[in-house]
Structure 1
Amino acid sequence: MKKTYQTFIFDLDDTLLNFKSAEKQALQAIFNDFKLELDQNAQQAFSKFNESLWKKLEKKQITRADLFEQRFQTFFRNYYHLEVDGNQCSDQYLSYLANGHEEITGARHLLTNLASANKQILLATNGVARVQSQRVKDAQFTDFFDRVFVSEEVGVEKPDAEFFKYLFAHSKAIPENSVIIGDSLSSDILGGNNAGTDTLWFNPLNHQNHSQIKPTYQISSLNEICKFA
């Protein structure tokens, strides 16, 4: 039997907004700046490397400063034998990334339905506050959220229990009446487990879960979330 919830806590990237699309257009702009061709192999290599750095950040193996300095400096050095200013390149990339706000299919319809049902809707995202805020604003999603929590402002990354402790302390959400929704097992679902909150794993490609991280529920499309309202 499915439980219903009063508060829905959403991840942003690849849950409500298409991060892969935003990353691709931002990376293309950076490559254009350096007059380099962005082929599929380079794009996949960067995406994999960038994701690995964020995973290390989630595990507290590196700092945010390390991530922003290293991702382009190390990538361009290893892939193109090109020396770049890592921080300057990362700042430019973030300005391009802020322009990406393509929504995941069904996102606006879902948020509209939840708002109409008087549900509390919160946003919980890792990332850079100015980038995420701009993307949410440009997608015209801002008014749906009672509060927006970005790891840069909270001071810790998901899945740290402190992130969600801060969220519950600064919202009207009650853990037992809330559900955390996201595409990442290691960030969103583990975060929910650490917080003692039910979770919905958004898994549109039906990937196999080979980890020890167990979601409360699994869905393949956003419209399935209405069943929990």
Structure 2
Amino acid sequence: MNRYDYIIFDIDDTLFQYKKAERHIMSRIFEEENQSIDEDVYEALWALSWKYWDRYHLSNPDTEELQSRYHEYYHKHLYEYMDEMRERYHLKASKEILHDKFLDYFEESTESVENADFVVKELADRHCLAAASNGLTKAQNRRMEKYREYFQYVFISEELGACKPDRRFWEQVFQKIPVRPDNCLMVGDSIHTDIAGAAAYGIHTCWLNSGKRINDTGIQPDMEITNLNELLEI
């Protein structure tokens, strides 16, 4: 690991648990609506979330149109998700209000991926750290306050006007990071958005495969781990 000047982390499901964030959001919303929520409802809402996430290909924006309209589609997916949720569970708030609440409560959600806190602190003593996220500027900046003292840079797609795996995202990153791409390691959970785009730009890649998924994509990371603490052994 000492050969890398910079280690670049994805944010959601690499540093912070996204599913736990959604549970926090739904808990807040249902409490404010005086509605009960249980495990079955959480899982139904998670499936509903993915229905709209997949509709707009947000987990794999692999065309120029998807990449250029990523943030527009993010908001569309969220409005539609909130609209179906309010109808299914008879919530009083409008989809617009629920959309805004979702984003507000998302900012509060910083439950870390297993061992992230320890690994970030350890690696920050040996390397420069950066974060690279497809997301909304305000929300991701606020969440990254938890780790701000350890990170030299936080790159967010909305702010850059380009999203991973688009080459234009990485071009802007390396206008700031003062080293060559092959002196950096990208760590992320998405084989498509994190690994493929970084590798195409010449960055070394580490796939965080905590779910031990089978990789049948044809995309080969330089290394694969199932827990962040394995980074300390590389």
* TM-score normalized by the length of structure 1: 0.86
**How is 1:147-226 mapped onto 2 (pairs within 5 angstroms)?**
147-226=153-232
Within 1, Cα distance between the matches of 2:83 and 2:34? Answer: 13
Within 2, Cα distance between the matches of 1:95 and 1:129? Answer: 12
- Alignment match, 2:50: 48
Residue type of the partner of 2:142?
Q
Residue type of the partner of 2:13?
D
Residue type of the partner of 2:196?
L
Within 1, Cα distance between the matches of 2:103 and 2:171? Answer: 28
Note closer, same or farther for the CA distance 1:5–1:226 as it changes in structure 2 (3 Å cut).
Answer: same
- Alignment match, 1:143: 149
Q: Deviations over 1:24-65 (max 9, x none)?
A: 111332344455554144222223124323236564335422
Deviation at 1:75, TM superposition (A): 5.5
- Alignment match, 2:142: 134
Residue type of the partner of 1:142?
R
Cα RMSD of the aligned pairs, angstroms, is 2.5
Within 2, Cα distance between the matches of 1:187 and 1:181? Answer: 11
Q: Secondary structure at the match of 1:55?
A: coil
Q: Secondary structure at the match of 1:42?
A: helix
**Is the aligned partner of 1:66 residue 2:70?**
no
Of the structure 1 ranges 179-188 and 102-111, higher mean CA displacement relative to structure 2 is found in: 102-111
Within 2, Cα distance between the matches of 1:65 and 1:34? Answer: 28
* TM-score normalized by the length of structure 2: 0.84
**Is the aligned partner of 1:5 residue 2:4?**
yes
Within 1, Cα distance between the matches of 2:115 and 2:49? Answer: 25
Within 2, Cα distance between the matches of 1:50 and 1:31? Answer: 20
Within 2, Cα distance between the matches of 1:227 and 1:153? Answer: 34
| From 103, 106, 118, the counterpart of 1:109 | 118
Note closer, same or farther for the CA distance 1:157–1:14 as it changes in structure 2 (3 Å cut).
Answer: same
Note closer, same or farther for the CA distance 1:89–1:173 as it changes in structure 2 (3 Å cut).
Answer: farther
The number of residues matched between the two structures is: 224
Structure 1 stretches lacking a partner, 5+ long? none
Deviation at 1:187, TM superposition (A): 0.9
Of the structure 1 ranges 96-105 and 35-44, higher mean CA displacement relative to structure 2 is found in: 35-44
Q: Deviations over 1:65-107 (max 9, x none)?
A: 2331343335533872979754443222100111110111211
Structure 2 stretches lacking a partner, 5+ long? none
Q: Secondary structure at the match of 1:200?
A: strand
Deviation at 1:116, TM superposition (A): 1.4
Deviation at 1:108, TM superposition (A): 1.8
Within 1, Cα distance between the matches of 2:166 and 2:205? Answer: 15
- Alignment match, 2:21: 22
* Percent identical residues: 26
Q: Deviations over 1:157-199 (max 9, x none)?
A: 1111111111011122320111100001111011212212110
